Amino acid sequence: MTQANITIEDIPATAAGVTAKLVKFQGQLDESNVDEKAKIIYALLEQFPQNLYLLFDFEELEYMNSKSIGYLTDWYGKVSEGKGKIVISKTRSNILDILQVVGLTQLINCYATLDEAKFALLQPATLPS
Amino acid sequence: MDHTPAQPAQALENKPMKIQIMLPTNAYFISGIRDFTLGLIRNMTEFSEQWAFRFQSVVDELCNNAIEHGSAPGQEIKITFINNQHDSIEIIVEDTGTGKVKLSAAEMQRIVNERRNPKYIHIGIRGRGLSKIVAEWTDELEFKDLPTGGMQVRIKKFLKDPALQQEMSKYLESPTHLVLQ
């Protein structure tokens, strides 16, 4: 199986009722591992179905195939349904290229730094009132 | 003793470089094929670094389709790389036609054309590889039924293409903005 890791840590959020997580992706997501790795995110979505704010750190993500794009789109749909948000930070150029060609950057904003992504994720305008 | 005259150097230089790989239908080997593709494009062609990564995705998607849909476990798929020096790269993937889903070349073409339509809404996890990645990053995408019962998928990308003028540096400068052409 191709090597890939997904780790999750909390992001302090000031608004009540909001759960914010930093999700770090490492390695390569392909047909050999993506179904298994996707379960980690689905477990998170199940645990926090409402007001879940996710920052996907793609700095160490080297490759993602079309099925992982499909999962990303599905996560976006579920998080949005629950009044949450997803942003992506620090993508490598080849990953950004893939996200752009499939049109995902029209759904999910990508930021060059973690700080910019955190600000965009948790700015008051995007939080539930 | 072989007395076949050697080909002149010029003829050899202009001859397309062809590499064929037989790959067992095991997704675990695909990462190696991706690495090989990246190295091949970087070192043996005039395509840019950006295109080396793009072909990595193209090959991955083509191979996954051939393995998952086109061939039964224990079979092999064939991948052929043809570098037409100073002109183009062709990549051909062939399956054995022993997979779970049996679609004809015409049906595959229809599906890809349908999904390439900007109005088509992708639902579900799968189905983006050929239409969104392979079709966008190639100049020719052709499906062909093989006499053996399998299918051949051939892509071609020309070196001299206006789209190649877009450099990676544009993405690095401003990764939060779409570059509209």
pLDDT at residue A66 tops 90: yes
Residue A63 within a domain: yes
| Number of domain units in chain A | 1
ipTM, 2 dp: 0.92
Q: What percent of chain A has pLDDT over 70?
A: 95
| Angle formed at CA B108 by CA B105 and CA B114, multiple of 5 degrees | 140
Residue A97 within a domain: no
Residue A8 within a domain: no
Q: What percent of chain B has pLDDT over 70?
A: 80
To the nearest whole number, what is the mean pLDDT of chain A? 94
Residue A38 within a domain: yes
Residue A6 within a domain: no
Domain enclosing residue A60, as ranges: 19-87
Residue A31 within a domain: yes
Residues of A with a Cβ under 8 Å from any B Cβ are 1-2, 28, 30-32, 63, 65-67, 69-71, 73-74, 91, 93-94, 96-98, 100-103, 105-106, 109-112, 116
pLDDT at residue A65 tops 60: yes
Answer whether B28 sits within 8 Å of A105, measured CB to CB.
no
Q: Could you give the domains of chain B?
A: 13-118+125-173 (3.30.565.10)
The pLDDT of residue B2 is 56
Residue A107 within a domain: no
The pLDDT of residue B169 is 47
pLDDT at residue B173 tops 70: no
To the nearest whole number, what is the mean pLDDT of chain B? 84
pLDDT at residue B10 tops 70: no
**Which 3-state string (H, E, C) describes chain B?**
CCCCCCCCHHHHHHCCEEEEEEEECCHHHHHHHHHHHHHHHHHHCCCCHHHHHHHHHHHHHHHHHHHHCCCCCCCEEEEEEEEECCCEEEEEEECCCCCCCCCCHHHHHHHHHHHHCCCCCCCCCCCCHHHHHHCCCCCEEEEEECCCCCEEEEEEEECCCHHHHCCHHHHHHCCCCCCCC
Domain CATH for A27: 3.30.750.24
Residue A122 within a domain: no
Question: Which B residues in the span 11-70 are in contact with A, Cβ-Cβ below 8 Å?
Answer: 27-28, 30-31, 34, 50, 53-54, 56-57, 60-61, 64, 67-68
The pLDDT of residue B172 is 47
